[in-house]
Amino acid sequence: MFPNMDHKELPRALQHIMERGRPTTVHAMPRRSFLKLTGTLGLAVGIFPDLAVAQSSDADAAAASLKPTEQPSAFVHIAPNGEVMVTINRLEFGQGVQTALPMILAEELDADWNLVRSQLGTNDIAYVDPLFGMHLTGGSNTIKNSFTQYRELGARVRAMLLAAAATRWNVDVSTLRTEAGAVLASDGRKLGYGELAEAAMALPVLQKIALKDPKDFRIIGQPTRRLDAQAKSSGQQSFGIDFKLPGQLTAVVARPPVFGAKIATLDDSAARAVKGVKAVLRVPLDRGAEGVAVVADGYWQASQGRDALKVEWDTSAVEKVDSERQLAHYREMATRPGPRQFDSDMVPLETAPLKLEAEFVFPYLAHAAMEPLNCTVRLADDRAEIWMGSQSAGPDAAAAAAALGLKPEQVVLNVQMSGGGFGRRFSSTSDTVVEACEIAKAARSAGLNAPIRTLWSREDDMRGGYYRPLHLHRARIGFDKKGKVLAWDHSIVGQSILTGTVFEQFMVKNGIDAATTEGMRAPYPLPMRLTVHHPKDNVPVLWWRSVGSTHTAYVMETLLDDIARATDQDPVAYRMQLFGDQHIRHR
Per-residue pLDDT tens over the stretch 75-120: 999 999 999 999 999 999 999 999 999 999 999 999 999 999 999 9
* Percent of the chain topping pLDDT 90: 84
DSSP-derived letter for residue 432 is H
Q: 356 with 374, same domain?
A: no
Looking at the structure, tell me whether residues 147 and 77 fall in a common domain: yes
Alpha carbon 16 to its chain's center? 20
Q: Over 70: is that where the pLDDT of 468 sits? A: yes
Average pLDDT over residues 426-442: 96
Task: Say if residue 120 is in the same domain as residue 149.
Answer: yes
Q: What is the pLDDT of residue 92?
A: 96
Domain boundary residue among 400, 429, 463?
463
Angle at 503 between CA 500 and CA 509, to 5 degrees: 85
Q: Is a pLDDT exceeding 60 seen at residue 52? A: no
523 in the same domain as 420: no
* Mean pLDDT along residues 516-529: 94
Q: Are strands 471-479 and 485-494 parallel, antiparallel or unpaired?
A: antiparallel
Name the nearest CA neighbour of 159 among 113, 108, 116, 114: 108
Are 198 and 245 in a shared domain? no
Whether residue 198 sits in one domain with residue 88: yes
Q: Which of 55-69, 307-321, 370-384 has the lowest mean pLDDT?
A: 55-69
**Domain annotation covers residue 1:** no
* pLDDT band per the 50, 70, 90 thresholds, residue 16: very low
Last-in-domain residue among 171, 200, 231 = 231
Let me know if residue 532 belongs to a domain. Answer: yes
Let me know whether 404 and 338 are in one domain. no
Q: What is the pLDDT of residue 587?
A: 59
Look at residue 2 in the predicted model and tell me its pLDDT. 41
Confidence of residue 33 (pLDDT cuts 50, 70, 90): very low
The answer to whether position 170 is within a domain reads yes
Position 2 in a domain: no
Name the residue range of residue 563's domain.
Answer: 323-365+467-586
The answer to whether residues 437 and 378 belong to one domain is yes
Domain boundary among 463, 495, 522: 463
CATH classification at residue 569: 3.30.365.10
80, 190: one domain? yes
Q: Where are the beta strands (DSSP E) in 440-580?
A: 452-455, 471-479, 485-494, 508-509, 512-513, 528-533
Residue 559, domain member (yes or no) = yes
Mean pLDDT of the chain: 90
**Are residues 334 and 452 located together in one domain of the fold?**
no
How many folded domains does the chain comprise? 3
Q: Give the type of residue at 154.
A: G
Q: Give the integer Cα–Cα distance in Å for 423 and 421.
A: 5
Say yes or no to pLDDT of 513 above 70.
yes
More reliable by pLDDT, 63 or 147? 147
Tell me if 99 is assigned to some domain: yes
Residue 570 binned pLDDT confidence (cut-offs 50, 70, 90): very high
How far apart are the C-alpha atoms of 291 and 311, rounded to whole Å?
A: 10
Residue 355 pLDDT:
98
pLDDT-based confidence at 19, cuts 50/70/90? very low
Among the ranges given (58-67, 189-198, 477-486), the one the predictor scored with the smallest mean pLDDT: 58-67
Whether residue 345 is contained in a domain is answered as yes
The rounded distance, in Å, linking the Cα atoms of 402 and 296 is: 26
Structure confidence by residue, pLDDT tens digits, 179-230: 999 999 999 999 999 999 999 988 999 989 999 999 999 999 999 999 999 9
> What is the pLDDT confidence band of residue 10, given thresholds at 50, 70 and 90?
low
Judge if 67 and 21 occupy the same domain.
yes
Q: Is the pLDDT of residue 349 over 70?
A: yes
Residue 581 pLDDT class (50, 70, 90 cuts) = confident
Predicted structure pTM score: 0.87
For residue 236, tell me if it sits in a domain: no
Residue 246 has pLDDT above 80, yes or no: yes
Check residue 586 and give its pLDDT. 61
φ and ψ at 84, to 5 degrees? -110, 115
DSSP string, 310-349: EEEEE-TTS----HHHHHHHHHHHTTS---EEE----HHH
Answer yes or no: do 503 and 437 share one domain. Answer: no
> So what's the pLDDT on residue 64?
66
